[in-house]
Amino acid sequence: MTTVQAPADRPSTDADHRLDALLLERWERDPALPAIVSGETALTMGELRERVLRTAAALRAHGVRAGDRVVIHHERSVEFVVAVLGAMFAGAAHAALGVDDPPRRILRSVQDCAPRAVLTESALRDRFSDVPGLSDLVVLTDEECATYAPTPESVQGDVDVRGDASADDPVAVIHTSGSTGRPKASLISHRALVSRIRALQTTHRMDERDRMIHHTVCTFDMHLGELYWPLLAGATVVVAAPGRHRDADHLADLIRDQGITTVYFGVSQLELFLLTRDPAERYDGLRQVLTGGEPLGPDLVRRFHSRSTASLTNIYGPSECTIYCTAWVLPRDPDLDTVLIGPAIQDTELWILDEKGAPVAEGETGELYIGGAGVALGYLNRPELTAERFLGAERFPNAPAVSPDSRFYRSGDLVRARPGGVLEFLGRADRQVKIRGIRIEPGEIEETAKRCTGVRQAAVVAHGSGAEKRLAAFVVPEKGVASDSLPSSVREALRTWLPPYMVPSAIEVTDELPLTPNGKLDRRLLEARAAQRSAEPAPARAVHRAPADTPADTSVDAEPDVESVVSEVWCEVLQVSAVGRDDDFFDLGGDSFKVLRVVETLRERLRADIPLAALLLEPTAADFSEELRRIMAHGPTD
């Protein structure tokens, strides 16, 4: 039997496990400590408390009560942080939606979580002017919230103010991709999040001398750690500029100029950061770095250790278990050959079971089941899916040692235990994949593709590994539909319904989908076909060139056709045959590593000082080309 357990949490009151009570105690004890820095804006804990309680008062005045949900729709900013905390102090759970997500996906997520209110900025308010089925939806901006005065009823941190306040109240709603075509939303409780913050603080302690960057996208649960952990520890949250979470130069500037001591990087982001910066540059000001979201390779660990004295910790855990459930501090071992995900953190119980629900022997492969304080309450409005993935002890008749009151999340991840209970991650047991650290259900993309005009069937597979993992879609057209124009029309339709990371980099029309001998879709064959197509060189393209007899110093050579050069380089790097003016680099399969290759190539061909941020901020071919023309004329801006 393989059981991996960590100490249970101490007996305590609900107030000990409510974020509002804990934050109020911290703010009242240290009101002058810096709390948030964002560009030129800085708030002390006392100033943050005032703004948060005004927002909570505004929500309470508009009917928000315990158990309600509040959508947060802000760019990354001080206002975003205030909105998240204000919703929590009003007694609600916040659901943060990315401002760059397609309008249809935003609308669908709003309808799915049925919020009582939306907190947003003035420029985005019209997005919520008419939400079907939610005619009484309250939409408030930060300017409107600032006009409300805090009242005792708005301060939910004092549990005595409202007798029904519980540590098991939901505090956050985290949307992830769903296999049925509908995103699923995990409900995270105060108790779960407090447990995780305490686990982080136990092993990676922060205090008022520390600063942590908030740059993770709001749809990934690590943004909860980047906000609540430093604020509860008395440390300072340093907010990265909107749209620059991929920009290694910007993050390096923050690390240096703001005295950052603690940061979380997704694995791909850490890879890009080290590739982009000067190899001689060191980051010894950092004290501790956490990474996760994707498998971590030994070579990346060695490269990080060679450039920083900071500790590097690999954390693992699905959002259904609140940020993480295992952690492994990477040893400074030049001969490291396997990166593990570590043992269970505190307040966590792990079981590795076989297909019959029986524990496997140490060293044997099995599926990981996660229990303990961090397990989510379930999926919002999805009772059948909740019952399928969140299991009680009665579901484990072959594991009699499971406590009768235990509750587990079935992760779908395959692991095996090393001596001492340290786990090794081996892959997925189901179809869920991760692209650049983001969990994706191919089934959601398939269901969306089937809604596209002219599509009869659709299948989506992932191919490649690590940073080179890509999504590919195969679509069968309706009878009479022209196949040559179908990929582009499907791509455009998917862009209106799905975020960029879920739009396949390749869309291929096929007469039929292949089946296995038992009549099931042959996904392995499609994966092999997608990998083969990806490896084929892109067809040659006609690119604007100066006439052969044009002198080298004429204006034609001095002022190249920037858009043609951009298109040519994108085709080379992305391995596509053509690029449209409105095509998005990341929709076509671009990632952080390909950004680096494109910019380095263009620096050479255009003989210009092009910052990485240029492509990150202007990802369409037309806008990027226009930005390059501006840079070539005036030079890059800071």
CATH assignment at residue 630:
1.10.1200.10
SS3 197: helix
Higher pLDDT, 325 or 456: 325
**Top-confidence range, 272-281, 297-306, 496-505, 588-597:** 297-306
Query: Is the same domain home to 451 and 529?
Result: yes
Alpha carbon distance 570, 547 (integer Å) = 23
Distance CA 17, CA 195 (A): 8
Per-residue model confidence (pLDDT) at position 553 = 43
Q: Beta partners for 316?
A: 326
Q: Say yes or no: 493 and 411 in one domain.
A: no
24 and 147 both lie in a single domain: yes
pLDDT value, residue 519? 64
Bridge-based pairing of strands 236-239 and 34-38 is: parallel
Highest mean pLDDT among 247-256, 324-333, 355-364, 422-431: 324-333
Q: At what angle do helices 267-276 and 592-606 cross, to 10 degrees?
A: 20
Please give the Cα distance from 604 to 610 (Å, whole number).
Answer: 10
- List the structure tokens of 279: 């190899």
For 576, list phi and psi in degrees, rounded to 5. Answer: -120, 160
Q: Is 250 inside any structural domain?
A: no
Average pLDDT for 435-459: 86
Residue 623 lies in a domain: yes
Q: Tell me what pLDDT residue 413 has.
A: 92
Confidence of residue 399 (pLDDT cuts 50, 70, 90): low
Lowest mean pLDDT among 113-127, 317-331, 415-429, 531-545: 531-545
Q: Helix 592-606 and helix 621-634: axis angle, to 10°?
A: 40
**Residue whose C-alpha is closest to residue 442's, from 461, 458, 470:** 461
pLDDT tops 60 at residue 378 = yes
Q: What is the pLDDT of residue 559?
A: 56
Question: How large is the average pLDDT for residues 20-25?
Answer: 95
pLDDT attached to residue 545: 38
- pTM for this prediction: 0.80
- Total domain count for the chain? 4
pLDDT-wise least confident of 70-84, 182-196, 458-472: 458-472
| CA 514 to centroid of chain Cα atoms | 33
Instruction: Tell me the C-alpha distance between 600 and 594, whole Å.
Output: 10
Per-residue model confidence as pLDDT tens digits over 135-162:
889 999 999 999 999 876 555 444 444 5
- pLDDT above 70 covers what percent of the chain? 89
Domain boundary at 114, 134, 166, which?
166
Domain termination site, one of 127, 151, 166: 166
Burial of 403 (0-12, 13-18, 19+ CB in 10 A): exposed
pLDDT at 181 over 90: no
On whether both 517 and 629 belong to a single domain, the answer is no
Domain contains 216 = no
The boundaries of the domain holding residue 81 are 19-33+42-166
